[in-house]
Every structure is written in C-alpha cells, then in structure tokens.
Structure 1
Amino acid sequence: MAIDLCNKSPAGLAERDPGSWEHAVDEPALLEDLGSEQRDALNFAYRTTLSNVDPRFVAGDPAAWSSDFGYALDKVAIRLDNRPNDVLRAQALNHPDPVLREQALFEYADRDHSDAIELLVQAARQDSNRELRWDALWAIEKLGGPEAITALRKFLADDDPEIAEWAKLFISELQTGDPAFDARTGRHTPGRTFDETIYLLIHCDLYVRLDDSNQHWGKISLSPQGLARIYGQAHACPNVATREKQLVIAKTISGLHADGSPHCDNYLFRGFTDRTRRDRGNFFFESLVPRTFFKSGHADDPSQGVRQANIGFARYGTWHLEPAFQVHNEPAIRYVRGRFQGWGYLNLARIAGKPLEEVLTPGNGVLSTLHDPEVGPMTNAFILGTFKGKLNDWDGDGVIDLNSRDVYSTVDGEIDSDQDGVPDEPGLTCCDYRTQALI
C-alpha cells in the first residue's frame, strides 16, 4: 500500500519534477478550442476527480487527513527487506521463482527510485509469468503521474487480452478515477455455488512492532503473489441476491498440506453497501471467524501450542457493474477495488537472518486479534493494503468467465471440498490442522 504514497508526499511533490502532461496525452488542446459540450464534460470530469483527491493534501481538520495509522508508521518503519538496490533489480528480472521476481519488483517500487517505472515496464514486457506482468502494471499505476500513463499505454495492444485490459483499466483510473474495459462478452456457468468468483490481486504492508517501547517498527511490503504464497490466493465470491450485505472471501494456500491438497481458509463478510448509483456499490464489510491461532507463527504448526480465537478483518471499497453481463436478470460485478486492514503475528525469531526464499513460504505468518488474553499480547503486526479484482478469460477462448474459478466454500463460508454446496463439516470454515500434516 505504501507504493501508493510514493511521489505524493508534500516534500516529494515539492522536490520532484512530475513531468509534463503533454507526454501523457495524444493531442493537447486549449480550453478555448473546446465546444460547450466538451467543456461541460471536462468540468464534470474535474469535479469527479476532486472526489478522488487524497484528503491528506486538502486543507481542513487534521483529524480527517492526518490520522491514518499506516501513513504514520510508513514514515518511521525500517525495511526488514534490506537487499541492496542492485540486487533487487537483478532478482526482479532474473530470479527463477516468479513470486520472488515480483516481490523484488514491488520492494524496488516501494523505495521510490527514479527508474522504478522503467524496471516495471521491462519486467511487464519480458516476463513469462502472466500474473507478474499484470501485477507490474498495477505497481506502475500505484506510482502514478504522467510517466505511469505513458508506460501503461505501451501495453494497450498487448497480445494477451488480459494485459491489454488491465492497462486500459489502470489508465482510465489514473485519468478519471473510474475503470474502463474492453468489449469482450461474458459467460456465467449455472449451477455453481457462487454467481461470481473474482480473482483478487492484494498488495499489503505489514508494520511490525519490534519491541514493547512502541518506538521501533519494521515493515514488510508484500506483492500480490508474495502475499498469496504466505496467506493464500483469495477470491471474492458474491451472489447477486445477497451481495449488498454479505459475501465470502475464499482463500487457498498451495504447498501447505503434505498430500498436495489446497489449504482452505474461508471468511464470511457482512456489512453495508451504498447503492445510490446504479452502476456501482460502495461497501464496508467486516468478518469475524473462529480460527486456530498457532503460537509458532506458522499455519498448521502446533509445536509451540495453539489457541482458539475469533479473528476479525475489515474490507471496504467499490464494485463496478457490467450491464452486458447479466446474472439472474441483474448486472454482474466486473471489477472491485478497495482497502483492507487487520492484525497479525510474525514470529521474528523464525525469520531473522533468513533469506527471502525461506521467509516467503506457505503459511509463514498468521492472522491475529487483540481481543484474546493469550493471543492479544502476541499480536505484533498491523496489516493493511489494497486489493483489486477483475473478471478474466481464464481458458483463453475469448470469453470472460464469471464464475469458473474453483473455490471450496459454501455460501456461509464453510469448507466444501467437492463444491456441491454442502459443507464437509457444518460450521468448519478452515482446514483442521489435526487432520492435515504440515510439509
């Protein structure tokens, strides 16, 4: 999430040349050259853009613009990833593991070097990993500015339609605040548990309290694939009939169970949605689920004891509807974006001095809570970040798939390994470590 703050602090805005917008537009036009309808449209776009301005840079009550805990921590936290910049650049392009290539890219972008966009473009052009390519485009959007728009335009005609659409979407968000999409058709598969299974890109920062004085903080910035490796790949799973008040976030961690089966970790979220606009919904949802807390700091590792606790998490943002994609006579959600926050526990003794290859491993970090007498004192990480999810064509047939992704959850978040809508065990929302052996 801190990448979003790059180039946007008051000091950074004062010291850095933001570049000329004439390099980000095809044919600059003078205001007096525009017709009345064009000027009206421009004024409307301007007013719309004002609603997206970071409140930290708007005069007013500091309680409204200077009270972001993550923003405060980002200014004082030390980086727990201390690799030199030249090592990051080399690993971003050449590491054999795509997750670690992407992690190096996001760490480098978070450091806000002047050549960050250049490196991201190079990776997005040449990398063989599809997800790394679109995640690199997202990092370019996060850095923002005219240079980002110019860079993203290079991918509008990409051979991969998903890369091209992500580029189109990110450019539109930078220019207007709203996403834009291509004209592909969509396909809904009837008879599945969820009307949509939206693959989520999640970028987050973990701010870790390093001692009891509250004066020393560390920071780990996780790329989307890095986060998915540790905490699981997430899908947002709404149903049209209930999406304004609840949905399931279904997560699976690969490589945690010895038998190769996915580790399922489902969260039922409930909340409010504002539907004053037909084309979107603004939401604030919370989840509170029972979980086994592993005092080792590693999922499914009970070697240092366990504790049953209720884990809370919050997510809020906006989903955008696509009238061309109809499900039960209602427009489907084509795109969702937002923020999230919660608490976690990192066993610092477990990761201290270890190379990143041994840190970014399945389950090597657990969510936590402050509201438990045993777990609360162990909680040492504030987790926050941003997420985006778009419907994609997963089978390459040129048609966007609404709900083809395999998710192992009932509508209430219970584990459903055969996806028949019936829970494996009523009330069980996360794999039971006692029946699964840790690798």
Structure 2
Amino acid sequence: MLEDLATEQREALNFAYRTTLSNVDPRFVAGDPAAWASDFGYALDRVAIRLDNRSNEDLRTAALEHPDPAMREQALFEYADRDHEDAIEFLAQAIRQDTDRQVRWDALWAIEKLGGPEAITTLRQFLNDPDPEIAEWSKLFISELQTGDPAFDDREGHYTPGRTFDETIFLLIHCDLYVRLDPSNQHWGKISLAPQGLARIYGQAHACPNVATRERQLVIAKTIEGLHADGTPHVDNYLFRGFTDRSRRDRGNFFFESLVPRPFFKSGRADDPSEGVREANIGFARYGTWHLEPKFQVHGESAIRYVRGRFQGWGHVNLSRVAGRPIEEILVPGNGVLSTLHDPEVGPMTNAFILGTFKGKLNDWDGDGVIDLNSRHVYSTADGEIDSDQDGIPDQPGLTCCDWTGQQLP
C-alpha cells in the first residue's frame, strides 16, 4: 500500500513516474513507431504555443477567486495542463474550498489525468466527502488508476418510464483545440478547454442511449445556454452510428461516427450570420467503452452506468475573436463552430483540430439518495431531431439543430 511507504519512498516513486512520462509516449509502449508515434494530436501538442498566456500566479488567483465557476475551472485545468510540481496539491485545495460541485468533480478528473501515486493518495482524501457524487467520482478515479476499471458505490437506481431515452448521461468533456496560426503549417496554438468552458462554447452534452439500439446508434444531445436572446437553450443534436464489441457481458467497446447537416457560420460564432452562412455536412468521431450496472435493469437489460472515451473532429476558430482577448471574452456561448474539410467553401476555413476525452456516469440529480437513469432534460427524438417538449415527436421532421433564421443573438 502507498501509505506503508516512507515519505522518501513515495517521493521517489512519484519522481520516477513523472520522469518516465517525460521521456516516452505515456499511452503506448510498442516497437513499431506507426503504432505509437503517429497520433496527430500528440505531435501538435509538442509544438503548439499556449493561447492562454496568463501567468501561473494569475491562474492560481482565478482558480480560487473568480466569481464564475467556469472560469475557476478553466484556470485549474490550464494550470494542471502546464504540469507544475504542485498541480495535484493545488487541485486538491480547490476541491476542498469550491462551492460548485461540477468544479469539484471536474478537478478530481484533472487529478486523475496527472496520475501517479500522488494522485491516488490525494483522491483518497475525498472518498468520504459529504457530497456522494464527489465521493463516488473519487472512488471511480482511484479504481481506474489502480486497475483500469471503474468502481462505484452501492446506491440504488431509478428509471422513469415513458421518456424518449432509457438513459441521459451527463458528459464531462475535456478538449484540446489546436489552431493553425498561418498557412505555412509551421505555427500552431493550443487552447485546453475544461469541461464547463467547452460546454459554454459548444454546448453541454448528454449521451442518450436506448437499450434496444445502443450497440449501433445513440444520440449526443447538446444545449448551449445564453446564446438565444429569449433565454431558450440552443439545441444541437448528433445521431451517431457505429459498431460495438460485446465480447464481454459487462461492457461494450464502441467506435461511432456522426454526419449531420449544419449551417456553418463563417463568423466563427453559432447563429451569427454576419459574415455569411454555408450549409455543410459536419462529421465527428467518438470511441471508447461503456460499463454496465447489473442491478440497474431497463427492459430486462443492464443499464450503462459509466462511459469513457475519446473524440475528434474539425473546427473553425475566428482568430480575430480570440487573439489578445481575455479568457472571459473567449469562453462565451457559441464562440467556436465545428467544421469539415469536405466542402469547397468550408474546407479552406477549417483551421482547428479538435480532440479530447470524455467521461460520464449516472448521478443523483435530485438529492434523494437514488441514482437517476434518465431524468435529464434533452430535446431530441430517438433519431436526433429537435423535440422541444420531449414528447418523442419532432418539432419539424429532419431538423436536428435550432433554425438560426428564427433566433437572434443577445
């Protein structure tokens, strides 16, 4: 056990872990470079400059004192991404004092990302947190670091019949956005978006599977708050299809892709037609693993309790909107759009490679001590069409994203 090691031994183990990460690709150890050195995002990460140029002290102050929880969280993730020696200790300080539960559980995830014995020891501090979600996330991350598999508490689950989806899983998404800064392909910038910052720009995502179809399709339902002048959420749904490996009864390994028609706003901000709009087909890929919970039964099958994985796609960032701007003016609703290379107009404007990781587990959202399987409000039919009253019938057949012509930016 780590607790049985002397202080010097623990420090030596952590040092060895961090030193190893700095010298090898931490994801793979393989003889053929085609297997471990061909990741585009990994290559970009080694050369990209940080577009968030705040000092370390500014980040620490923002992480603890900024009135906006999304900005506190963004500062925490940026500080962690810089891999300072005190990053885990600082994240733990923020978790202990922050009042926003999502900042707290997202910061726990940032600790897991840093990894190593120190991360495990720190996560154990929150196993008995008064918030059961913080306690369970801590248990889950510790188990992943130790065994590769998640572990959960023993709460019961509640399924609400009659809803469109059997499950509505709130997703935490951490995204690295690599922006091509000039046509030479020699200069790249990086923005590391924390989950709440990403949700503010691109929308809060929920994974919405149905037991009968989850092995071949699901909907990722997104909503952007604060984009519409009338206060209604901007709805942006993506139907994904793909394959799932079910060679193990307790999990599914999946690779899914989405291809949806979308208005591409050349301004770089959703619903802003000031520089023109082009209809295009936007593609995205997600792949990972979901883990089943046998005691949560839906239609005679085990429910998905937890999902994790990676995603990647293309985007357009209007550099004039971000260059030299404070982070508060960058992380605003809709200030970034997904893109494609397969369109004669949109392709040349595509300047961002988007990739990252996601995690989502079932939570107790109403505080009654019972896990909620499908209580979250998502505005989508089973096929990804907009369904504003959640009755299973599309508002307009075929429409999967809000019609910008009927909305105005605030």
TM-score (norm 1): 0.88
Of residues 418, 421, 425, the one that matches 2:396 is 425
Aligned to 2:303: 332
What's the CA shift for 1:54?
A: 6.8
Distance 1:90 1:134 in 2: 20
1:315 match: secondary structure: strand
1:385 to partner: Cα distance: 0.1
User: For 1:19, which of 14, 19, 42 is the aligned residue?
Assistant: 14
SS in 1 for 2:126: coil
Distance 2:72 2:14 in 1: 28
Count residues with an aligned counterpart. Answer: 393
Q: In structure 2, which of residues 359, 383, 392 is the aligned counterpart of residue 388 of structure 1? A: 359
Asked whether 1:312 is paired with 2:307, we answer: no
Match of 1:78 in 2: 49
Among 179, 184, 195, the alignment partner of 1:213 is: 184
Aligned 1:32-181 pairs, distance under 5 A: 57-181=28-152
**Aligned Cα RMSD in Å?**
1.3
Alignment-derived partner of residue 271 in structure 1? 242
Amino acid in structure 2 at the alignment position of 1:283: F
1:82 & 1:401 partners in 2: Cα distance? 40
Residue 259 of structure 2 is aligned to residue 292 of structure 1:
no
> 1:26 corresponds to which residue?
none
- Name the structure 2 match of 1:257: 228
Work out the CA distance in 2 between the residues paired with 1:218 and 1:399.
Answer: 44
| Counterpart-to-counterpart distance in 1, 2:33 and 2:224 | 41
Give SS of 1:308's match: strand
1:177 maps to a residue whose letter is: G
Cross-structure match for 2:21: none
Conserved 8 A contact 1:55-1:65: no
Q: Which runs of 5+ in 2 are unaligned?
A: 1-10, 17-23
TM-superposition CA deviations, 1:50-100 (whole Å, max 9, x none): xxx977542311000110100000000000000000000111000010000
State the distance in 1 between where 2:15 and 2:329 align. 43
C-alpha deviation, 1:17, in angstroms? 4.7
**Secondary structure at the counterpart of residue 154 of structure 1:** helix
* TM-score, normalization by structure 2: 0.94
Structure 1 unaligned spans of 5+: 1-15, 22-52
Q: Distance in 2 between matches of 1:107 and 1:322?
A: 34
What is the aligned partner in structure 1 of residue 7 from structure 2? Answer: none
CA distance in 2, matches of 1:429, 1:208: 27
Corresponding residue number in structure 2 for 1:186: 157
- The verdict on how the C-alpha distance between 1:155 and 1:100 changes in structure 2, with shifts beyond 3 A counting, is same
Tell me the CA shift for residue 351 of structure 1. 1.7
Q: Matched residue of 1:19: which SS?
A: helix
2:303 aligns to what SS in structure 1?
strand
Q: Is the 8 A contact 1:270 1:286 kept in 2?
A: yes
Structure-2 separation of matches of 1:20 and 1:297:
43
Per the TM alignment, residue 330 of structure 1 is displaced from its structure 2 partner at its CA by 0.2
| Alpha-carbon distance between aligned partners in 2 of 1:311 and 1:326, rounded to the nearest angstrom | 35
Identity of aligned residues (%): 83
